[in-house]
Each structure stands twice: as structure tokens, then as C-alpha cells.
Amino acid sequence: MRVLQQHGPCSRADMTRRLGVTAPTISKAVSSLLRGRMLEEFDSKQDGVGRPARQLRLATETAQVIGLVIDAQHCRLVSAGLDGQLHHESLCSFETPKTYRSLISKVVKSFEQVSNGRAVETLGLGISMPGLIDYRQQQGLLSPNVPITNGQSLARDLTEKLGIGCVMLQESHSLCLAQHHYGDTEGGNSRGLDNFVMLDIGAGLGMGVMAGGRVLTGHSGLAGELGHLPRIPDGRACGCGKRGCLETVSCDSALAWLVSQRVGRSVSIDEIVNLAQSGELSVEDEIGQVLPHLSFAISAVISLYNPSKIFICGRMFELDNKLFDKLLAATATDTLAPAFADCEIVRASVSKSQGAVAGIIEYLTDSLVPGVDGLFAPANNSPDIATAAAANQ
């Protein structure tokens, strides 16, 4: 499955070459994955001498997964093949409810709708949501923008209601996973990249870190909270309860807040982009205020994680097509030279929906492999766990 995820469809023979595993072994593994609806065969005309290969791909006709994205204003459900390709026509969207109970019932209803869009088995549901998420307990801890999820375990509750595997991911972690599996950048794709950072500078300053091929979770899943570094002493109040967090001065909404202050009414980043592009509004001054903080953030990321790439998601760059280069220049002077030289900074190319889907696919894939210790099955390398597992005598 990893080969198919990273290199796209191929034949059994291609797999033997890529993996260094012999043909009969591949044959057996593939037939078992076909039975489990994880893969499917398809014919494709091809050139070259010899018996034509039967191509394999991650299941898209025979199975699907569903991604759920929860945002402050809206929720979205969308189905996708196991290759991560979203079925855009299946999209179902609704306003984020005011209570947890209504969230659950709304999701269940929408799930039925999206799930029945295609007459194929739905294997699982991935959830991307903002705020702090405790991965050990699979429960929301603190989400300033969607407080109804605080203390709730959406994954567990939905698993029970829907009868299929459900997993929760912090939205930046989900973006990180999506970039790992499905990301494309100008100079090729980012699939299989092992050390990179995803920075989401939209509604807040979210970060996902891929370190050594795994999403960095920390002890409980709270790692990567770059946005809540203390930055401005006694600064503006942040959703987290503190003041002057980095995210209050360095993301799209920080920019929008500054602009709102000036024009005397609340304007969203979307509106600002529209006004700026039509020439009705200049935000140079506000950009000038945000830039050094954002530059600090990137500098910190490079020094702390030594990524080979940083992906940035945000609308801010649509305001000024030189902004990205200015940001790079500002960061260069402030950052440890060897680590900066090691790191390429680019715009991100994935969505939260892809992230949610990537999450559930990762979960399904990992659960096939005994003893794997990935995002959803950590700490399997501890002997004491093995002891418990072998408690048959």
C-alpha cells in the first residue's frame, strides 16, 4: 500500500522491483488486500513486449472513506477513494451547530447521505478539527473556535453511532499527513518526504511537523503549538486564554484584525483579499506589522525542527505577490545559516478535507500491519506492551 501511495498505480511485478520482495509474496499480499477491498485491479492498454500487466491501484471503485472537516463556521463531509482523491460531487456542508449533540446528529445524517452517494462500502471516517486534541484519549481538550468539542470524544462517539473506524486529527497534523501522501509542489511532488513542516497561517498559527516520517505528536498529541508561544507582553487576548500569543500577530486573522481596527469595522481576510485585488484597499502597513512576527515563526521552525521543506497555507500571500519573497528574505537574515540553507519554503497544496481523508487512510493502512507504531498506535515498541499482548500463559 505504501508503494501505491507514493508512486501511484502499478502491477505486481512493479512492486517486486520496488520492494525487493519476491513475486509470490507480493501475489499473496495483494490477493489478501483485494479481498479486504483495499486495492482493486484495472486494465490499461500499454506498450512493451511480454504479457501485459494487470494494474493495481488503491481502491476507488470498490471502497471509499469519508473525511469530516470541522471549522469555526462550517463543517464539511466528503467521500474519497483510498487513493485520497476526493469525490467533490459528494460534498456535504452545513453550519457548525451550537451544541455537541446536534453536531453528532448532523454528522450522522450527512454521513448517511455522503456514504450512500456511491454504492460502495465505506471503510472509515477521518475528522480534522482545530484546537488541542489529546491523541491518547482521542478527545478534544481546548478549541477556542469550536468549544462544543471540548472534553468530547467525537471519534469514539461516531465510531459507536456509525459502526466504522473513526479518527480525530488536529487540523494542522491532518494537513501535514495530506502533504506527505498527496502533496504536489512546483518542483515535483512531496510524497514520502520525511522531515517537513506544515504551517497554517489562516485562522490561527497552526503547525504540523513530519519528523523522521512520522507526525510529531508529543506525549499527548499537543506538539506543534507554535501559535501559542508568548510573543507580545500583555498583548491582545488570545482564544487560548493568554495574551500576546504569536498567533495574535502573525496570521491571516491577525492581519484582518489590524485592518478591521483601521477601517473601523470587522473585515474578514476573504474580504480584504477581494478589496486589495480590486485596488480598493491597501494593507501594506498591516503587512509590515505582521511580517516580522511571521518571519520569527519560520525562523523558529527551521532552528527547532530542521525540516527539508516548509509548506505554508494562507491567503495573505494573495495580497502582494512579492510578500512571499520578502518573507524569505527577512527569515534568511534571522536564521541559523546551515539549517536555513537546508530548507526550502513553498506554498502548500493540500486542503483540510484531504487531511481528514489522509488520516483515516493512514489509520486503515496501519491497522493492517501488526506491531506498527504510527500516529494511531504509538508505543508498540515498549517491551511491557508486548508482555501484555502475550498474556496468554
Q: According to CB under 8 A, which residues from 162 to 201 bind a second copy?
A: 192, 194-195
Least separation in angstroms between residue 240's CB and a second copy is 6
Ranges within 267-286 binding a second copy (CB under 8 A): none
User: Which one, 53 or 300, has the nearer CB to a second copy?
Assistant: 300
Query: DSSP characters for 348-384?
Result: ----HHHHHHHHHHHHHHHHHSTT--STTS--TT-HH
The one among 3, 9, 27, 342 contacting DNA by CB under 7 A: 27
Residue 277's beta-bridge partner residues? none
Whose Cβ is closer to DNA: residue 48's or residue 212's?
A: 48
By CB under 8 A, name the one of 71, 83, 134, 271 that touches a second copy: 134
Q: In this complex, which beta carbon is closest to DNA, that of residue 19 or of residue 304?
A: 19
Separation of alpha carbons 323 and 328, rounded Å: 9
Residues in contact with a second copy, total (CB under 8 A)? 64
N- to C-terminal Cα separation, the chain = 35
Please state, as a whole number, how many other Cβ atoms lie within 10 Å of the Cβ of residue 254.
26
Check: CB of residue 275 under 8 Å from CB of residue 164: no
- DSSP single-letter state for residue 97: P
Q: Which of 54, 101, 136, 219 binds DNA (CB under 7 A)?
A: 54
**Please, which residue, 31 or 220, has the CB nearer to DNA?**
31
Note whether 241 binds a second copy by CB under 8 A: yes
CB atoms within 10 A of CB 174: 35
Is residue 25 within the footprint of a second copy (CB under 8 A)?
no
- Residue 369 found at the interface with a second copy (CB under 8 A): no
The x, y and z cell numbers of residue 368, run together, are 493492517
Do 330 and 298 touch, CB atoms closer than 8 A?
no
Q: Which of 39, 198, 226, 272 contacts a second copy by CB under 8 A? A: 226
- The alpha-helical segments, DSSP class H, found in the chain are 2-7, 12-19, 23-35, 100-115, 154-162, 171-182, 252-263, 269-277, 284-305, 323-334, 337-341, 352-368, 383-389
* 25 belongs to the binding site for DNA (CB under 7 A): yes
* Nine-digit cell string for 34: 483485494
- How many of the other CB atoms lie within 10 Å of CB of 264? 7
In terms of CB distance, is 51 or 98 closer to DNA? Answer: 51
User: Which residue of 8, 21, 236, 285 would you call a contact of DNA, by CB under 7 A?
Assistant: 21
Contact predicate 327/298, CB 8 Å: yes
Does position 28 bind DNA by CB under 7 A? yes
Partners of 142 in beta bridges: 132
For a second copy, the closer CB: 52 or 213: 213
> Could you give the 3-state DSSP secondary structure of residue 61?
coil
Instruction: Establish if 72 lies at the interface with a second copy (CB under 8 A).
Output: no
**Residue span binding a second copy (CB under 8 A) among the ranges 65-73, 274-282, 300-308, 355-363:** 300-308
Beta carbon nearer to DNA, 337 or 390: 390
Q: Which stretch binds DNA (CB under 7 A): 12-20, 133-141, 145-153, 215-223?
A: 12-20
CA dist., res. 18 & res. 356, Å (int): 28
Residue 332, contacted partner among DNA, a second copy, none, CB below 5-8 A by kind = none
How far apart are CB 382 and DNA at their closest, in Å?
17
If the CB atoms of residues 21 and 304 are measured against DNA, the closer one turns out to be 21
Does 371 bind a second copy (CB under 8 A)? Our answer is: no
25 binds, among a second copy, DNA, none (CB under 5 to 8 A by kind): DNA
Q: Does 24 bind DNA (CB under 7 A)?
A: yes
CB contact at 8 A, 158 and 122: no
| Amino acid code (one letter) for 213 | G
**CB nearer to a second copy: pick between 141 and 281:** 141
Cβ 343 to a second copy shortest distance, Å: 8
Residue 82 identity: L
Which residues contact residue 44 at a Cβ distance below 8 angstroms, ignoring those fewer than 6 apart?
9, 55
Give the residues across from 134 on adjacent strands. Answer: 139
Half-sphere exposure of 87 (CA within 13 A, CB side): 22
Residue from 306, 320, 332, 346 binding a second copy (CB under 8 A): 306
Residues lying near DNA in the complex (CB under 7 A) are found at 11-14, 20-25, 27-28, 30-31, 47-54
